[in-house]
Amino acid sequence: MCGIVGYLGGESVTPKLLEGLRRLEYRGYDSAGLATLEDGVIARRRTEGKLENLITRLRSEPLGGVAGIGHTRWATHGRPSEENAHPHAPAGATPEVAVVHNGIIENYKELRTELAAAGTKFSSETDTEVIVFLVQRELQRGATPLEAVQQTLTRLEGAFALAFLFAADENLLIAARRGSPLAVGVDTESASIGSDVLALASMTQKIAYLEEGDLAILRRGEFVCYGANGESVTRELKSVSQSNVQIGKGEYRHFMRKEIFEQPTAVGETLHSFLDPARLVATFPDLPTNAKDLRRMLSVACGTAFYAAATARYWIEAMTGIVSDVEIASELRYRKAALDDCGLALCVSQSGETMDTLEASRLLAQRGIPRVAIVNNADSTLARESDLSLLTRAGPEIGVASTKAFTTQLTLLACLALTLAEKRQTLETETLRRYAESLMELPSRLFEALELDKKIAQLAHDIAEAQHALYLGRGTLFPIALEGALKLKEISYIHAEGYAGGEMKHGPLALVDEEMPVVVLAPSGGLFAKIASNAEEVLARGGRMLLISDAEGLAAFGGKATWTLELPKVPELTQPILYALPMQLLAYHAALVRGTDVDQPRNLAKSVTVE
Ligand code: M6R
């Protein structure tokens, strides 16, 4: 997590760095800071809290210069505070070096002890500060900035991305990548560094992604790179594809709201990538395995992406007969998994930079399992490291709570299930066409679901009063219940849990009383009678219920629920995608009522690039 930027060029550096940080704030927002170099002097401004606080400080205490580095933090070592905010530099009037860091230095305690024994006085609780003192020590021993960084890197263990600024050279930035993503930009008169392409797009037209172990030396119009073994390497500079990406909120009050309302379009675009609307067949590039021979596959992911994979499991097994396991990426990494008969892995991640998913993917590669990445960022590390990458067409998702990334992942996974079924001939052609048709209708149904916004805003007042909430679903609606509960807790801070409806009587029913709102996802069709029985069990214990169904389901339940929401009736395949929307709107409106920070909920960050 954490976002880092760096810039040097002919223009004043502070506005450049601030714009880059604004685009990176989704990575962390506990504190922010800048260091710039003016007339050979490194000066810093750092503030606790959001970037806005730093901008306010800079109005009264501006920073000049044409070279600098910046940081927006998601705390790992040391609480959010000004002292712990980056950039770090040795205390004193004229520091020789400043650094910004994303990641974790695992051996920082030993390094701190070593440096303290030699008289170093630390002024923060961070793991990062050791880096700056190690570099300074090398500089004082007569090393050049490059030698000082190279020597320091040999002492560091862990995963990190770093950017350095040196007082002695205003035409120099050094960047290093080991485990955490980093890209650089080079134009004729400038050079820049950024945690992602979105940040760099505000500073440059040409970017290159650093590879694992790279060390980059950047000067105006110049970029030299050394690979993991210290040899000089070439990293291709590409035109920035997202330079025109709009990341504003437009007419919307929050990014999350904008992204919820973008779903009909985002799902439509994803469908157009993977379904041929004329022939009504799924259109995928060749998979890195023979679908006909597949007996078992595995999906790995975290958080919301995990729930997308968990939903797809129902589709894949029902349509293709392939055993489809699903595992939380951080769990797969540390157990002795029996994977011998696994013929394909799906690694699902919006960012494509989630450390746990990346490491799980690398483990699967070591085990010789072909990997397909399902990502929303075509240039992400996961996409580049996989055998095949499939792109959801959600566009940039800025709100920390995943919304359109989730529904586009589901859409892509539904199409993938269709293509596997077609290749394996496990479904009749007519059934496949019917499924494809129901997917093509989905954008319109999503539009209709968004019309529930006002009603959900009203009933959210009641839900927002609760301390706890339960979400129930069955079949493909069970992972949607889990996702609904995650949405509510992450942005409104109401404790919520999702359960398979059938599990209630095995324990959670004890929680139900007249205070407890229970959200029940109950589309008519296949499992309606089963989930309706579970709903009755809740009502019999005095629970307050929000029943979400279609007209047929609501009529069958007969007005017994406390609140109801009516969605259009859709085929079973697309139910989980449609039912995700009211979950998102409910969490959004409950958060508004409670006055929490919708786009940047406390303690969270969008892209989790640490373990
Ligand atoms: O970028 P990823 O999809 O790999 O992120 C995984 C999770 O961190 C993410 O889905 C998270 O759970 C959501 N932002 C929550 O809304």
User: What distance in Å separates the CA atoms of residue 215 and residue 558, rounded to the nearest whole number?
Assistant: 66
Q: What residues are in contact with ligand 1 under a 6 Å CB criterion?
A: 302-305, 349-351, 354, 357, 400-402, 490, 607-608
- Supply the angle between the helices 477-492 and 303-320 in degrees, to the nearest 10: 170
Ligand 1: centre distance to CA 302 (Å): 6
Indicate whether this model's pTM tops 0.85: no
Check residue 366 and give its pLDDT: 95
Tell me the three state secondary structure of residue 535. Answer: helix
Could you identify the residue written with the tokens 């709107």?
585
User: What distance in Å separates the CA atoms of residue 211 and residue 231, rounded to the nearest whole number?
Assistant: 13
Q: Give catalytic status of residue 342 as yes or no.
A: no
pLDDT in tens, 252-276: 999 999 999 999 999 999 999 999 8
Q: Whose CA is nearest to atom 12 of ligand 1?
A: 303
Q: Are strands 31-38 and 41-48 parallel, antiparallel or unpaired?
A: antiparallel
Cα dihedral 525, 527, 533, 537 sign:
negative
* pLDDT over threshold 80, residue 309: yes
Query: Mean pLDDT across the stretch 511-529?
Result: 92
Range of lowest pLDDT (11-15, 446-450, 602-606): 602-606
Check residue 241 and give its pLDDT: 58
Range of lowest pLDDT (164-178, 563-577, 595-609): 595-609
One of 2, 225, 342, 415 is an active-site residue; which one? 2
Count CB atoms within 10 A of the CB of residue 297: 26
Question: What value does the mean pLDDT of the chain take?
Answer: 93
Encode burial over 568-604: b for 16+ CB neighbours within 10 A, e otherwise.
bbbebbbbbbbbbbbbbbbbbbbbbebebebbbbeeb
29 pLDDT tier (thresholds 50, 70, 90): confident
* pLDDT over threshold 70, residue 28: yes
Check residue 555 and give its pLDDT: 94
Check residue 244 and give its pLDDT: 42
Ligand 1: centre distance to CA 222 (Å): 36
Check residue 242 and give its pLDDT: 47
Q: Whose CA is nearest to atom 11 of ligand 1?
A: 303
Q: Cα–Cα–Cα angle for 354, 356, 358, nearest 5°?
A: 65
Ligand 1: centre distance to CA 36 (Å): 33
Share of the chain above pLDDT 70, in %: 98
* pLDDT over threshold 50, residue 548: yes
User: What distance in Å separates the CA atoms of residue 545 and residue 322, rounded to the nearest whole number?
Assistant: 37
Cα 335 → chain centroid: 24
Cα dihedral 67, 73, 77, 80 sign:
positive
* pLDDT over threshold 90, residue 45: yes
Q: Give catalytic status of residue 2 as yes or no.
A: yes
